Chain A
Amino acid sequence: MAKFLFIYRESTESRPRPSPEEMQALQAAWYAWMQKFGSAIVPGGDGVKPTGRVLKGGLVTDGPYVEAKEIIVSFAVIQADDYEAAVAIARACPPGHTIEIREFAGYA
């Protein structure tokens, strides 16, 4: 069984705010997803706050880059047999994100 990192990105372009009704539907959909794939989801996944720091060449700047079109909003670690299975789990996520799927290299 391989481990995959799911990196969820959201567009930074200003979109209309989701309505309370839409948020309620999303909450139910995400919760259902978490339940359905509970055995594949490795504990520790979380959302990340919208701003942070970037350390590059010894310099610390506020990040993520303001010009970025998409920012990372959350991540999850998923156990799956192969990419096909991992992608199937990602496909089952409620819509609204770009999801980057990367297999763990297994160095650690």
Chain B
Amino acid sequence: MSEPRGLVEHFFRHEFGRLCAVLIRSLGVRRLDLVEDVVQAALVQALETWSRRGVPEDPAGWLYRTARNLAIDALRRERTHARALPRLAEDDERESSPLEAHFADEIGDEPLRLLFVCCHEAAPAESRVALALRTLCGFSTGEIARALLTTDANVQKRIERARDRLRELDVDFDTPAAAQLGARLDAVLAVVYLLFSQGCHVTHGDLPIRRDLCDEARRLARMLAAHPVGDVPAVHALLALMCFHGARFDARIARDGALVLLEEQDRSAWNWSDVREGMAWLARSAAGDELTRYHLEAGIAWEHCRAPSFADTDWRRIAELYDALERIAPSPLNALNRAVAEAYLHGAQAGLDRLAAVLTEDIPARYPGWHVVIGELCFRLGRHSAAERAWREALCLTTARADREFLLRRLAVCRPEGGEPAP
């Protein structure tokens, strides 16, 4: 009798993606929904059987065999059906070729191909992340809804829309040819980046960081970098960026779940093996003359990592990097961060001036961070009532628990004798 064995963390979730990728190779992108059903059914069988008998020696192989057999059964049923109803007969010869022949014991680059399919520009942008999380990362509808801060119904709709588009276009299941690689890779990187930032900056709910999203983003990026198609400087830069940010996760969250500002973080609690990995990726990203937003953002994150203390931060260099970033990927968030750098360089008033210069009408309502920074800079200038106003404004726009508690703490500092500030 073999020793009962456990499964590695996220085994089911990751196998879901790998199984989908292998089956899509045989069945085609058009059959994405059938593939997901079959894979789900294989996992259910695994759940039932392994609960009773324990995990088999080769759980991944067990799942492949089961999913493959279920797929064959499903196709056989369809064929019977097709004979009875000729108008439903499939004209696609892919389905008449022996399915078994397509299955290899080794997983090749299928997950990578699936990543390119999920991030296909044909699908609406907001659908791509949802589809990648479902098909490749094995998240349920509910898990995706929580991750992307939307409803189950909305996630379902996004995924269906993406599947419909991919089916309409009869997208190939292949890594893109060199000629189209640039645009396709940009779309993939955007999805991976979005996934990571969704995990880093949770805008509501109880968890300050959704580490599982960040981990998935890093896993996908590593997968990209491991393949010739994705072994390019932009991918290396994105990996560096994620490693540098990831290194600070533990230090960002206090024991009670509160956010810890960079200024107050215990730098010895940073994950230095992440930093080292980031440095290696950053070095590789410097090959060639391509400069992407990921390069610049990785550069900024690296500046923070390499400063021995907050006081030693090279704000001049950071300001330069934000200026460069603003030229290739302008955004209010960059402007805000640039103003923070300005405030450390030339004082709080200089930061406020900078913010005033870039302010547009729609910014304040959309970025609680805008008010947080204004509050902080006003507070430093001794303008406590202006600071209080800004922080209250920020509080109105904030639903994440950790962010709210942070703001309440700041408001308490603002008016120490005032007791509980109004919500």
Partner of B51, one of A17, A20, A30: A30
- A16-B141, A26-B51, A34-B52 known; A21 and B43 CB under 8 Å? no
Judge whether A18 is part of the interface by a CB distance below 8 angstroms. Answer: yes
In the bound complex, CA of A102 to CA of B391 (Å): 62
Judge whether A14 is part of the interface by a CB distance below 8 angstroms. Answer: no
In the bound complex, CA of A101 to CA of B399 (Å): 46
Which B positions have Cβ atoms within 8 angstroms of A? 4, 6-7, 10-13, 15-16, 40, 43-44, 46-48, 50-52, 54-55, 138-143, 152
Interface pair B141/A24, CB less than 8 Å apart: no
**21 residue pairs bridging A and B, Cβ less than 8 Å apart:** A16-B141, A16-B142, A16-B152, A19-B13, A19-B138, A19-B140, A19-B142, A19-B143, A20-B43, A21-B10, A21-B138, A21-B143, A24-B7, A27-B7, A27-B12, A27-B46, A28-B6, A28-B7, A31-B4, A31-B55, A74-B48
Give the residue among A17, A18, A24, A45 with the most B Cβ atoms within 10 A.
A24
Give the contact-size bracket for chain A. Answer: 20 to 34
Judge whether A39 is part of the interface by a CB distance below 8 angstroms. Answer: no
A-B contacts besides A21-B10, A21-B13, 7 pairs, CB < 8 Å: A20-B138, A21-B140, A23-B12, A27-B46, A27-B55, A31-B55, A74-B48
Q: Which residue of B lies closest to A94 (CB)?
A: B51
Interface pair A27/B143, CB less than 8 Å apart: no
Partner of B12, one of A24, A31, A45, A46: A24
> With a CB–CB cut-off of 8 A, which chain B residues contact A35?
4
Q: How far is the CB of A50 from chain B (nearest CB, A)?
A: 11
Interface pair A18/B140, CB less than 8 Å apart: yes
Q: Which residue of B lies closest to A47 (CB)?
A: B48
> With a CB–CB cut-off of 8 A, which chain A residues contact B54?
31
Interface pair B142/A23, CB less than 8 Å apart: no
Interface residues of A in 6-21 (CB under 8 A from B): 16-21
Interface pair B138/A27, CB less than 8 Å apart: no
Q: Which residue of A lies closest to B14 (CB)?
A: A20
Q: How far is the CB of B140 from chain A (nearest CB, A)?
A: 3
Interface pair B13/A27, CB less than 8 Å apart: no
> With a CB–CB cut-off of 8 A, which chain B residues contact A19?
13, 138-140, 142-143
> With a CB–CB cut-off of 8 A, which chain B residues contact A28?
6-7
In the bound complex, CA of A67 to CA of B236 (Å): 57
Give the residue among A26, A27, A34 with the most B Cβ atoms within 10 A.
A27
Interface pair B4/A20, CB less than 8 Å apart: no
**Which 6 A/B pairs are nearest by Cβ-Cβ distance?**
A19-B140, A30-B51, A20-B12, A24-B12, A20-B138, A20-B13
Interface residues of A in 40-86 (CB under 8 A from B): 45-47, 74
> With a CB–CB cut-off of 8 A, which chain A residues contact B11?
24
In the bound complex, CA of A102 to CA of B142 (Å): 36
> With a CB–CB cut-off of 8 A, which chain B residues contact A21?
10, 12-13, 138-140, 143
Q: Which residue of A lies closest to B152 (CB)?
A: A16
> With a CB–CB cut-off of 8 A, which chain A residues contact B16?
20
